[in-house]
Amino acid sequence: MKSVVITPRWVCVAKASMLSAALAALAACSSYPGQPALAATDHRPVTITFWNWWDGEREQWMQTVIQHFNEEYPWIKIDSKVQGWTGMQAKIMSAFAAGIAPEVMMAPRAQILALADMGAIVPLTKYIQRDKVDLSMFYPAEVDAFRYRGQQWTLPLPTVTANDDFYYYNKDTFEQAGLDPNRPPQTWSSFLETGLKITRKDGTGKYTQLFVSPGPHMYLDFLFSNGGYIVTPDIRHEAISSNASKEALNFLYELGAKIATQPECDNFLISNGGAESSLIKGKLAVLFENVSFVRILIDQAIKSQPVNWGVGLIPYNDRNPAARSTGVAARGFGWGYVIPAGLSSEKEEAAWLWVKYLTTSKYGTGYFSFMMGRPSPVRYWNENPDYRKVNPNSDRILAAMQTDRALPAIPVIGDITDTIVNNLWGVAAGTGSPVDAGTKIAQKVQNILDSYWAKARK
């Protein structure tokens, strides 16, 4: 493949397959406005063990980040240890329980909130205030996702937004159905109408073309875009029994009943290699998936097998005047970096400098996010014009990130979202009663909240 030269603010020269090889060079460039000056170097050597899940080629990119961090903080050695995925969540919690947690741990949001509740990690608020880190550099939901009991427990890494605030679609499938490929459906009505036009079956009733495969996770997308939420503002009562929620449940049911009946839908996707592969092949028109799928689509282009893809915002209820496309940020698997309680002052300071570098610097979040083909949680780095070269839909994704609302930052949020998803399979398939499912989920969510607040009062 021919080399390509790109010249963003923070990358001066790169090779063409920049998402499968390291950048050839990085030139000196300006930092984001207000970034703290580099620290002095009169410190004793400190080693920071860093557990993370940046495996595959991401490990090489993280080593580049570490190299540049060491140039700015030469007395801090980062010992990066990439972890395996098997039993990941249990491994994180057991490391803290056993007192063997590393100085910096990469962890999912649900575990971070649980660790904060246990007093096992250090709140970063004092460091953020001391170093004058301007939190407005981040998308609002990125910060809200990790604010618990008045403290900020981590700064965002790529990303809790851009995960459930848009959908991918194959433009060719729209054209083949006589639809405008540049105008994806924006409302519930148009989404359903488009689905009926694109979905096709053969004479035996088997799918030959599928519009979308409804899943339980889509309920939250429709709920938020209908002006609803899963709990009341004080986070003490469920809101699943609200009218906004009932309407979202009914719409999810309608999609399953009219667009993608089971088990034929699943069999069709399996025969085409799964949902992601089906979208790439043009067998599936629409896919609700997180931003990491961008990387796969970019790789297709690198392989000279480009996909004619677009991005649509979450459809909203056109019968509700207050409804707007709204993204869902920070479902259980948003990541963050945390520091265990009980470190020496030198270790804690060094750990904070590493976390701050990972989440705010041009290499830690600018370069690293770009190499993954994902937006950064820091707005400034997304001004890089080369995002548009590798991702023609980057502006659309950034617009979606602005709409996000974070799920409530409480340790039991994972239990709540799991309860919702596990009880909506029948509704998503168009076979289960949305009324019965909503009633059941509302009671279970309220039980979780009651139990949480009862323990919190002790």
* pLDDT tens-digit readout, 217-253: 999 999 999 999 999 999 999 999 999 999 999 999 9
Peptide bond into 408 cis (omega under 30): no
Higher pLDDT, 359 or 370: 359
**Minimal CA–CA distance to 252: which of 204, 198, 317, 310?**
317
* pLDDT tens-digit readout, 105-125: 999 888 998 999 999 999 999
Domains 48-162+336-406 and 166-329+408-456 share a fold: yes
pLDDT for 31: 52
Confidence of residue 425 (pLDDT cuts 50, 70, 90): very high
pLDDT for 333: 66
Mean pLDDT of the chain: 87
Residue 216 CA to residue 334 CA, distance in Å, equals: 18
Burial label, 458 (beta-carbon count in 10 A; 0-12, 13-18, 19+): exposed
Query: Left if phi > 0, otherwise alpha if psi is -120 to 50, otherwise beta: which for 286?
Result: beta
pLDDT for 165: 87
- What mean pLDDT is predicted for residues 382-409? 85
Which 3-state string (H, E, C) describes the chain? CCCCCCCCCCCCECCCCCCCCCCCECCCCCCCCCCCCCCCCCCCCEEEEEEECCCCHHHHHHHHHHHHHHHHCCCEEEEEEECCCCCHHHHHHHHHHCCCCCCEEEEEHHHHHHHHHHCCECCCHHHHHHCCCCHHHECHHHHHCCEECCEECCCECCCCCCCCCEEEEEHHHHHHCCCCCCCCCCEHHHHHHHHHHHCEECCCCCEEEECCCCCCCHHHHHHHCCCCCCECCCCCCECCCCHHHHHHHHHHHHHHHHCCCCCHHHHHHHHCCCHHHHHHHCCECEECCCCCHHHHHHHHHHCCCCCCEEEEECCECCCCCCCCCCCEECCCCCEEEECECCCCHHHHHHHHHHHHHHHHCHHHHHHHHHHCCCCCCEHHHHHCCHHHHHCCCHHHHHHHHCCCEECCCCCCHHHHHHHHHHCCHHHHCCCCCHHHHHHHHHHHHHHHHHHHHHHHCC
* 177 pLDDT higher than 50: yes
Domain layout of the chain by residue ranges: 48-162+336-406, 166-329+408-456
Per the listing, tokens 């002052």 go with 345
Tokens, residue 341? 């309680």
CA–chain centroid gap for 381, Å, is 17
CB atoms under 10 Å from CB of 263, counted, come to 9
Burial label, 196 (beta-carbon count in 10 A; 0-12, 13-18, 19+): exposed
Residue 235 CA to residue 251 CA, distance in Å, equals: 25
Tokens, residue 14? 């790169």
* 196 pLDDT higher than 60: yes
pLDDT for 456: 77
pLDDT for 238: 97
Residue 95 CA to residue 110 CA, distance in Å, equals: 16
- What mean pLDDT is predicted for residues 335-363? 96
Higher pLDDT, 33 or 141: 141
CB 3 within 8 Å of CB 16: yes
Confidence of residue 458 (pLDDT cuts 50, 70, 90): low
* 153 pLDDT higher than 90: yes
The whole-model pTM stands at 0.81
Report the topology of domain 48-162+336-406.
D-Maltodextrin-Binding Protein; domain 2 (3.40.190)
Confidence of residue 192 (pLDDT cuts 50, 70, 90): very high
Confidence of residue 41 (pLDDT cuts 50, 70, 90): low
Tokens, residue 337? 């970096």
- What mean pLDDT is predicted for residues 264-277? 92
The CATH classification of domain 166-329+408-456, taken from the options 3.40.50.11540, 3.40.1350.10, 3.40.190.10, 3.90.226.10: 3.40.190.10
Tokens, residue 363? 């290499």
Burial 315-345 (b: 16+ CB within 10 A, else e): bbbeebeebebbbbbbbbebbbbbbbeebee
- Please name the amino acid found at residue 71: E
